[in-house]
Structure 1
Amino acid sequence: MALPVRSVERPATMVRWDPFQEIEDAWTRMGSLLGDVVGRVEGRPVGPLAAAVAPIDIEETDDAFIVEIELPGVRREEVSIDLRGNELQVTGEIKERERTGVLRRQTRRMGRFEHHIVLPGEVDPDSVNAMLDDGVLAIRLAKTRETQPKHIEVTSGGESK
């Protein structure tokens, strides 16, 4: 099956139509026009990726929950982590770097962020540690003793008479 083609600039030249590029171009034009009218909000771009959420993984092991959040360009001093019961709150700010040239396109997230994560079990607040490495914040929250699985060994009851 052949894909549709679209004439670009010169009618004699035929170019393969890329619908994804078409959508990206439209978003860029709309974001630029809207940005000219309403301006930027705290360094956040107006565009398709402005409201993108940072990828988060939550892993459950036998003794802990491990939460990993992608935070590229964020320093550890710019992140705050609070735990209330089994709800984890991670807040901070992605600061825009100083530029010398004209910014032609911006799709990276900037400004304040806040993540509320409800964990599926109780955690020990005294056994929580966090590490920021290569743009990934890893938080290890140990489970309370009551929520940790315990293996019960089955034994034989002996011979019956």
Structure 2
Amino acid sequence: MSNITRWNPISEFDDLMNRYNRMFGLARNDRDSKDLFSRSDWSPAVDIKETPEAFLVEAELPGMNKDDVKVTVHDGVLSIQGERSIEEDNQDRKHHRVERFYGSFLRRFTLPDNVDENSVKASFKDGLLTLTVQKAEPKEPKAIEVEVQ
């Protein structure tokens, strides 16, 4: 079975601009974050696996705890959102390199038709969020008899 990922050139361009702004220390203002093309500050790596009974979604969230993450399912879309805060800086310390991303993130995944949206279970251990979505029998189309007059 082949998975197809839809290419979104605008999101790639926005990601490039965000990286550029972070590299040169250019701050984003609130207006930018509400813009139509705005994206998250960073995006956690996600693996999606399938077993005969369920789909597993594993998201790497190092340095975070379960209270920093919110998982929702609405209209067939699984959303993972949260925020990783930067550690309070001590004035006596110099940063020579900061490569980790901080700030808010949002990942969304369209669920296939053969899942039970109410079965989502989440666990969080050692910075790894694991979501399990149980498969359901595909719904059979309902035939409706049309009366001709």
TM-score range, shorter chain: 0.5 to 0.7
Instruction: Provide closer, same or farther for how the CA distance between residues 85 and 122 of structure 1 changes in structure 2, counting only shifts above 3 A.
Output: farther
User: What amino acid does structure 1 have at the position aligned with 2:80?
Assistant: V
Q: Which residue of 2 aligns with 1:83?
A: 73
Amino acid aligned to 1:80 = K
- The answer for unaligned runs of 5 or more in structure 1 is 1-26, 43-49, 148-161
Match of 1:45 in 2: none
Take 2:80 and 2:121, find their aligned partners in 1: how far apart are those partners? 13
Structure with the largest fraction of strand = 1
Correspondence for 1:114 = 106
| Equivalent position of 1:103 in the other structure | 95
Larger Rg: 1 or 2? 1
* Residues 43 and 107 in structure 2, CA contact (< 8 A), matched pair in contact too: no
Cα displacement (A) at 1:122? 3.2
Residue pair 1:85, 1:122 contacting (<8 A) in 2 also: no
Per the normalisation by structure 2, the TM-score is 0.63
| RMSD of aligned alpha carbons | 2.8
Quote how far apart the aligned CAs of 1:104 are: 2.1
**SS at the partner of 2:119?**
strand
Give the Cα–Cα distance (whole angstroms) in 2 for the partners of residues 51 and 128 of structure 1: 26
- RCO higher in 1 or 2 (8 Å CA, sep ≥ 6)? 2
Between the aligned residues of both structures, percent identity stands at 31
2-structure distance, mates of 1:79, 1:89: 10
3-state DSSP of counterpart to 1:104: coil
Say yes or no: does 1:137 pair with 2:112. Answer: no
Residues 135 and 56 from structure 1, CA distance in 2 versus in 1: closer, same or farther, beyond 3 angstroms? same
Q: Which residue of 1 aligns with 2:120?
A: 128
Tell me if structure 2 keeps the 8 A contact 1:88–1:116: yes
TM-score by length of structure 1 reads 0.58
What are structure 2's unaligned runs of at least 5 residues? 1-18, 31-39, 140-149
